[in-house]
């Protein structure tokens, strides 16, 4: 009998745990469901250009702890708005029909898309165009709707926290203000969680626009109390009250072209000028996306991956596997595609930090 064939792809930024999730999907699909699996290379690029590889048991054996993605990924490939360079000019083409045809020619009965809001937003469009899709929540940013957490987030906050701990000693020894800028896109989850875990004195997140005077007051007050250093954890998407985000670059090929970064330097300079205290900035950036996943992320990715195969078997398409209060649920991609999940202002972690005197710049 012909074996059913499923496909898998990874889109958006890489993060720890992607290989763990690929391993879980492929092993379960082969061992328990007697399926054949192929992986598209470099996210939706692979679907558009029919570039794929077969994923056999041995291909995914030994990759649990490996960072990155064995399939490659892309933050720009979008079949509905596919960037094509013509000399110096950039043109956008709708190549979704080509991508869908490729999938059909390969006789694929289901596609597992591993990604964040960008990748899963595209997955939702493909689903509406008739592709049987199941999504998996991947991002260090933890900003996906419909799920309490995403794999990659725990690893990112663990790396960020280690960074804060290491910077703490320099801040203390040199009596400096140290700014640690972390990723997170438009949401402050990484800054909030690593800021609390690393004992940040000031935590700045996009959800709470800051006032430089309040930050300067906090730093000076600490000095008066004999604490001659301050740790400021700042999300790349943080902004001043009435002000704007700092853009690092524009990636024209991308459907979401803005890349954030640099707010730590801008605010660091302002703090130094306002307080007279030596201030330094460290940007953690892509360090947060690299390396081996934490045990929590390995376990989460493994569970999510096996749940995705169950959704495929049950033909529950158009959904992402999410986790709510420790139970796995099927979240409609329509919900996920609505935009990023920001931190509610009454989040218990914000309240707890405030009650310890942590300043949020407001
Ligand atoms: O979404 C993941 C993420 O790492 C964000 O935290 C960050 O804003 C962005 O991707 C960086 O993108 P790039 O890899 O294009 O620099």
In a domain, 85, yes or no: yes
Cα–Cα distance, 61 to 170 (Å, whole number): 42
Above 80 in pLDDT, residue 62?
yes
Mutate to test the pocket of ligand 1, among 12, 159, 183 (most ligand atoms within 8 A of CB): 183
Residue 322, domain CATH: 3.40.50.450
| CA atoms in the 13 A half-sphere facing the CB of 329 | 17
Return the ligand 1 atom nearest residue 141 CA. 6
Q: Is 141 one of the catalytic residues?
A: yes
In a domain, 355, yes or no: no
Q: Are residues 26 and 95 in the same domain?
A: yes
Structural domain count, the chain: 2
Residue of minimum CA distance from atom 2 in ligand 1: 13
Q: Are residues 102 and 221 in the same domain?
A: no
Q: Are residues 134 and 174 in the same domain?
A: no
In a domain, 147, yes or no: no
Q: Are residues 306 and 278 in the same domain?
A: no
What DSSP assignment string belongs to 29-86? HHHTT--EEEEETTTHHHHHHT-EEE--HHHHTT-TT--S-TT---SS--TTSEEEEE
In a domain, 47, yes or no: yes
Q: Residues 130, 101: contact at Cβ < 8 Å?
A: no
In a domain, 344, yes or no: no
Above 80 in pLDDT, residue 1?
no
In this prediction the pTM is 0.97
Q: Rounded to the nearest whole angstrom, what is the distance from the C-alpha of residue 139 to the centroid of ligand 1? A: 9
Hunting for tokens 């290491």 — which residue is that? Answer: 166
Return the ligand 1 atom nearest residue 254 CA. 15
Mutate to test the pocket of ligand 1, among 10, 259, 342 (most ligand atoms within 8 A of CB): 259
Q: Are residues 16 and 133 in the same domain?
A: yes
Residue of minimum CA distance from atom 11 in ligand 1: 259
Mean pLDDT on 335-362:
97
Q: Are residues 251 and 330 in the same domain?
A: no
Mean pLDDT on 75-98:
96
Mean pLDDT on 266-284:
98
Mean pLDDT on 93-117:
98
The verdict on the CB of residue 39 being under 6 Å from ligand 1 is no
Q: Rounded to the nearest whole angstrom, what is the distance from the C-alpha of residue 350 to the centroid of ligand 1? A: 24
**Largest distance between two CA atoms of the chain:** 78
Domain of residue 104, residue span = 5-139+293-336
In a domain, 254, yes or no: yes
Q: Are residues 218 and 282 in the same domain?
A: yes
- What is the predicted pLDDT for the residue at 2? 86
The verdict on the CB of residue 118 being under 6 Å from ligand 1 is no
The verdict on the CB of residue 186 being under 6 Å from ligand 1 is no
Cα–Cα distance, 307 to 301 (Å, whole number): 10
Express as a percent the part of the chain with pLDDT over 90.
99
Mean pLDDT on 17-30:
98
């Amino acid at each position: 009998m012909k074996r059913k064939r499923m496909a898998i792809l990874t889109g958006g930024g890489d993060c720890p745990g992607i290989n763990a999730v690929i391993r879980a999907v492929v092993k379960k699909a082969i061992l328990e469901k007697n399926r054949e699996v192929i992986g598209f290379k470099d996210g939706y690029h692979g679907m558009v250009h029919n570039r794929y590889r077969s994923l056999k048991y041995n291909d995914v054996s030994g990759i649990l702890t490996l960072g990155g993605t064995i399939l490659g990924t892309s933050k720009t490939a979008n079949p509905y708005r596919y960037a094509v360079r013509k000399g110096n000019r950039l043109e956008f083409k709708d190549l979704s029909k080509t991508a869908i045809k490729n999938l059909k020619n390969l006789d694929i009965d289901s596609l597992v898309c591993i990604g964040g809001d960008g990748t899963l937003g595209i997955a939702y469009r493909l689903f509406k165009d008739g592709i049987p899709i199941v999504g998996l929540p991947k991002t260090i940013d933890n900003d996906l709707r419909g799920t309490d957490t995403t794999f990659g987030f725990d690893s990112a906050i663990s790396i960020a926290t280690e960074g804060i701990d290491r910077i703490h000693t320099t801040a203390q020894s040199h009596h400096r203000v140290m700014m640690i800028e972390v990723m997170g896109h438009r949401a402050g989850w990484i800054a909030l969680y690593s800021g609390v875990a690393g004992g940040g004195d000031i935590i700045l997140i996009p959800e709470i626009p800051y006032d430089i005077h309040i930050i300067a007051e906090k730093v000076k007050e600490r000095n008066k109390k004999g604490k001659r250093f301050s740790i400021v954890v700042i999300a790349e998407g943080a902004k001043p009250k009435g002000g704007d985000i700092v853009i690092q670059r524009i990636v024209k090929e991308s459907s979401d072209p803005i890349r954030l970064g640099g707010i730590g330097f801008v605010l660091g300079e302002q703090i130094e000028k306002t307080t007279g205290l030596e201030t330094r900035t460290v940007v953690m950036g892509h360090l947060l996306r690299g390396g081996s996943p934490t045990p929590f992320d390995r376990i989460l990715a493994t569970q999510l991956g096996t749940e995705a195969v169950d959704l495929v078997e049950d033909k529950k398409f158009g959904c992402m596997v999410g986790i709510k209060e420790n139970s796995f649920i099927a979240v409609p991609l329509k919900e996920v595609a609505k935009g990023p999940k920001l931190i509610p202002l009454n989040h218990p972690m914000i309240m707890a930090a405030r009650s310890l005197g942590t300043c949020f710049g407001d």
